[in-house]
Structure 1
Amino acid sequence: MKILIIHQNFPGQYKHLAPALARLGHEVVALTPKVDKPATWNGVRVVPYRIRGASTKGIHPWLQDFETKLLRGTSCYQGALALREDGFAPDVILAHHGWGESLFLKDVWPEARLGLYCELYHLTTGEFTRFDPEFDARPPETDRLRLRLKNLNNRLHEEVMDAGISPTRFQASTFPESWQDRITVAHDGILTDQVKPDPDARLEVTDGRVLTREDEVVTFINRNLEPYRGYHVFMRALPDILRRRPNAEVVLIGGDEVSYGAKAPDGKTWKQIFVDEVRGQIADDDWRRVHFLGRVPYERFLAMMQVSRVHVYLTYPFVLSWSLIEAMSAECAILASDTRPVREVLSEDETGWMVDFFDRDALVDRLCALLDDPGTRARLGRAARAHVIEHYDLRTVCLPRQIAWVEELAGMEPRAPRD
C-alpha cells in the first residue's frame, strides 16, 4: 500500500505510526514544509514543499485564520502535484488538517482515501467560550460568529474525509454528529516501558541543585505557561503552598510563548505577568524553592516526573495534554482540574484527585493533604500507571488500534471532492 502523510511539523502525531507502517512493508511518504530537502527518516521518504504567499495586510481579523490555512492548502496542493508528476499515487492519505494543508489533496488524487486527525472542533457553548471570564474580552454575541467561521477549515474537510481519528472521546465529541460515525478514538500512545518510575531519578534545577525522590517536589508543566493550562491558578496558589510547605521544591516546565488562547497584553508574557502578581507575597528564601526550567529535553522532563511527589495538572475544557498521561505512567500522584477532558482519563480517589479549576483554596488544601499522605500517593500512583498500561500503552494498545484504522480506511470507497 502507498501511504502519504501530511503534517506541517512532521512527524507530529505520526511519530510512531509512520515508521510502523513502513516496517509493515508499506511505501510511506511524508509531505511537509518542515524540511528543506528530501530525506529518509525511519523508513519514511520525507519530501519538502514550500509555503508560497503571505497574509494580506488589513484583512478582516476573522479571515486571518482561514487565509493562513488557504495559503498552506494551495502550497501543499502544488507539492502534491509535483509528487503526482513523479508517479506517486497514494492509496491512503493521512493528514492533520488543522493547518489547512490537506484542503485540496482529493483534487490531486480523487481515488485516495483521506483519513484526518480530528483534534478539535470549535464550539460556541459557554463551556468553551465563557469558561474563564477573566480572559474573555470578546463580545459573546459576535464571538459565536467568529468561531463558526473558524470552523470553515473543519467543514470543508468534512466533505472529503473518509474517516477520522481522535486521541480522546472528549475531542471526538466536539465534532458535529455528521462526523461521529466516521471518527475512531485511539490515543497517540505512551511508551510505558520508558515512562516509568525510577527511585534513583535525579533532576538538576536552578543554582546547580539536584532534586531526588527524597525531596518534597511539586511539579507543574505547560508547553507554554498560559491560562488555558491553569498557570494563573497555580501561580496564585503558590504563596500559600510555599507558606504551608516549608520543605517543598516547586518545579515548573514551560515556555514563554502562547500555544492556545490570546497573547498576553502589552508585549508581556503570561509567565512574567503572574510572577509579578505573586512575587511580593513570597519571601526571598521561599522564592529560591521555585524553579522555572523553561523548555527542556525529554529526558529532563521525564526526570521531573520521576522525582515528583505530587504533579498538578490544570486545563480548560480543551485538548488533553500528553503530559498528564505520561505523569500517570511515571506513577505520579496526580492533583488535576475537574474538567471534562481530565475526567476521561482520571477517576477521583482511584487514579488521582481532582479539584474545581478555579478553587484555589481547595487546590492548596488537597495538595497539602496529598503531600502528607504517602500511602494514598503510592496507591494513586500505582493505579494510575496500571490504568495507562491497560488503556494507553503505545505498543500493545494504541499503535495496533491506529494500524487497524489505517487498514480499514484503505478498504473504504473514497469520497470525491464536491462542487
Structure 2
Amino acid sequence: MKILLIHQNFPGQYKHLAPALVQLGHQVVALTPKVKKQTKWNGVNVLPYGIKGSSTKGIHPWLMDFETKLLRGHSCYNAAMHLKELGFSPDIIMAHHGWGESMFLKDVWPNARLGLYCELYHLTTYPFINFDPEFPSQSEEMDRLRIRLKNLNNRLHEEVMDAGISPTRFQADTFPDIYQDRITVCHDGVNTEAVVPNAQAVLELTDGKTVTRDDEVITFINRNLEPYRGYHVFMRALPELLRRRPNAQVVLLGGDEVSYGAKAPDGKTWKQIFIDEVRDQISDEDWARVHYLGRVPYNRFLAMMQVSRVHVYLTYPFVLSWSLLEAMSAECAIVASGTDPVKEVMTEGETGRMVDFFDKEALVEKVCDLLENEEERRHLGKQAREFVVKNYDLRSVCLPNQLDWVTKLAQLSPRPPLD
C-alpha cells in the first residue's frame, strides 16, 4: 500500500508504527513542517511543507485558534496537491488532526481512507473545566462557547474520518457518540525491553553530583512544570517532605513553558511562581537537596526513573502522560492522583498508591509511608511493570494492534468530503 502520514512534529505518535509499516513493504511518505528539506527516516520519505500566512490582526479571539488550524490545513493541502501532481496517490492517510493539517486531504484524494489520531475532544462540563478551583474560568458561560467553537476542527474532521485511534479509553470517551463506533482504543506502546529497572543506574544532577539506587530519591516529571500536571500541589508538599525526609534528594524534570492551560501571569513561569511561594519555608540546606533538571535526553530521563525510590505523578482529568506508564515499566513505586486517566492504568494498593489531586498532606503521608516500606515499594513496582508488560508492551501488544487497525482501515469504504 501507499501510506501518507501527517504530523506537525513527525514522527510523534507514529515513531514505531511508521518504520513497522516500511518493514512490511509499504511505501510510506510523511508530510510535516518539522523538516526544511526532503529526508529519509527509517525508510519513510519525509517531505517538508511551509506554513504560509499569519493570524489576522483584530480577529475575534475565539477564531484565532481555528484560523491557525485553517492556515496549517491550507498549507498542507497545497503540499498534498503538489504530491498528487507528482503521481502519488495514497491508499490510506493517517494524521494527528489536532493542528488542522489534514482538514482538506479528502478533497485531494477522496478515495483514500483517512485514519485519525483522536487525542481529545474538548468538553465544557466539570471536571474538564473548572476542575481546579484555584484557577477558575473568568467566565464559565463564555468558556463554554469558546470551547465548543474549539471543537470546530474536530467536527470538520469527523465528517471525513473513516476510522480513529485513541491511546486510552478516557480520551476516546471524550468524543461524541457519533464518533464512537469508529474509534479503536490502542495505546502507542511502551518499549518494556528498554524501560527496565536497573540496579546500577546513575543519575547526574545539575551540580555535578550523582545519585543511585542507594540514595533516597523522590522524582517528579512534567513536560513543562505547570498546574495541569500538579506542579503546584507537589511544590506545596515539598517543605514538609524535605523536613520529614532529611536524606531525600528531590529531582524534578520539565521545562519552563506551558503545554496545557493558561500561561503564567505577568510574564512569569509557573515553575518560578511556586518556587517563590514555598522557598521561605525551606532552609538553604534543604533547598540544596532539590534539583531541577529542565528538559533532558531520553537516556537521562530513563536513569531518573531507574534511581527513583518514589515517583510522584499528578494530573488534571486530561491526556495521560507517557511518563507514567514508563515509570511503571521501570518498576517505580508511584504515588499518583486518583483522577480518571490514572485510574485507567493504576489500581490503588496493587500497582501504586493514589491520593486526591489537591490533598498535599495525603501526598506527603503516602510518599513517606512508601519511603519507609521497602517491601511495599518492591511489590508495587513489580506489579506495575507486570501490568504494563501485559497491557501496554510495544512489541507484543500495542504495535500488533496498531497494525491490525491499519489493515482494517484499508478495507473500509472511504467517506467522501461533504458540501
- TM superposition score normalised by structure 2: 1.00
Q: Distance in 2 between matches of 1:362 and 1:90?
A: 53
**Equivalences for residues 121-270 of structure 1 within 5 A:** 121-270=121-270
The CA deviation at 1:141 is 1.1
| SS at 1:302 equivalent | helix
Q: Distance in 2 between matches of 1:83 and 1:108?
A: 10
Residue identity matched to 2:133? P
The CA deviation at 1:399 is 0.3
Residue identity matched to 1:4? L
- TM superposition score normalised by structure 1: 1.00
Give the equivalent residue in structure 1 for 2:60: 60
Q: Distance in 2 between matches of 1:326 and 1:307?
A: 13
Please list the CA deviations of residues 319-346 of structure 1 after superposition, one character each: whole Å capped at 9, or x if unmatched: 0000000000000001000000000000
Where structure 1 has 5 or more consecutive residues not aligned to the other structure, the ranges are: none
| SS at 1:251 equivalent | strand
Q: Distance in 1 between matches of 2:141 and 2:37?
A: 47
Q: Distance in 1 between matches of 2:136 and 2:406?
A: 40
Q: Distance in 2 between matches of 1:36 and 1:287?
A: 43
Q: Distance in 2 between matches of 1:193 and 1:143?
A: 44
Q: Distance in 1 between matches of 2:37 and 2:357?
A: 46
Please list the CA deviations of residues 50-102 of structure 1 after superposition, one character each: whole Å capped at 9, or x if unmatched: 10101111111111100000000000000000000000000000000000000
The CA deviation at 1:152 is 0.3
Residue identity matched to 2:363? L
- Verify: 1:369 aligned to 2:369, yes or no: yes
Greater shift in the superposed pair: 135-144 or 307-316 = 135-144
Q: Distance in 2 between matches of 1:140 and 1:20?
A: 45
- Conservation of the 8 A alpha-carbon contact between 2:218 and 2:251: yes
Identity of aligned residues (%): 74
The CA deviation at 1:196 is 0.3
| SS at 2:53 equivalent | coil
| SS at 2:184 equivalent | strand
Give the equivalent residue in structure 2 for 1:394: 394
Give the equivalent residue in structure 2 for 1:118: 118
Give the equivalent residue in structure 2 for 1:33: 33
Q: Distance in 2 between matches of 1:135 and 1:127?
A: 13
| SS at 1:347 equivalent | coil
Residue identity matched to 1:395? R
Give the equivalent residue in structure 2 for 1:88: 88
Q: Distance in 2 between matches of 1:364 and 1:63?
A: 43
Residue identity matched to 2:170? F
Please list the CA deviations of residues 17-58 of structure 1 after superposition, one character each: whole Å capped at 9, or x if unmatched: 001001100000001111111111101000111101011111
CA RMSD of aligned residues (A): 0.5
| SS at 1:232 equivalent | helix
| SS at 1:116 equivalent | strand
Give the equivalent residue in structure 1 for 2:344: 344
Q: Distance in 1 between matches of 2:14 and 2:76?
A: 18
Q: Distance in 2 between matches of 1:204 and 1:42?
A: 31
- Verify: 1:316 aligned to 2:287, yes or no: no
Give the equivalent residue in structure 2 for 1:360: 360
Where structure 2 has 5 or more consecutive residues not aligned to the other structure, the ranges are: none
Give the equivalent residue in structure 2 for 1:271: 271
Residue identity matched to 2:379? R
Q: Distance in 2 between matches of 1:191 and 1:45?
A: 24
- Verify: 1:109 aligned to 2:143, yes or no: no
The CA deviation at 1:135 is 1.4
Please list the CA deviations of residues 266-305 of structure 1 after superposition, one character each: whole Å capped at 9, or x if unmatched: 0000000000000000000000000000000000000000
Please list the CA deviations of residues 150-183 of structure 1 after superposition, one character each: whole Å capped at 9, or x if unmatched: 0000000000000000000000000001100000
Residue identity matched to 2:101? E
Residue identity matched to 2:213? R
| SS at 2:128 equivalent | helix
- Verify: 1:385 aligned to 2:385, yes or no: yes
Give the equivalent residue in structure 1 for 2:51: 51
The CA deviation at 1:206 is 2.7
- Verify: 1:304 aligned to 2:304, yes or no: yes
Q: Distance in 2 between matches of 1:182 and 1:361?
A: 43
The CA deviation at 1:137 is 3.5
| SS at 2:191 equivalent | coil
Please list the CA deviations of residues 338-380 of structure 1 after superposition, one character each: whole Å capped at 9, or x if unmatched: 0000000000000000000001110001110011000000000
- Conservation of the 8 A alpha-carbon contact between 2:130 and 2:137: no
Q: Distance in 2 between matches of 1:262 and 1:49?
A: 29
Q: Distance in 2 between matches of 1:252 and 1:61?
A: 35
Residue identity matched to 2:132? D
Give the length in aligned residue pairs: 419
Please list the CA deviations of residues 222-249 of structure 1 after superposition, one character each: whole Å capped at 9, or x if unmatched: 0000000000000010000000100110
Residue identity matched to 2:174? T
Q: Distance in 2 between matches of 1:372 and 1:136?
A: 37
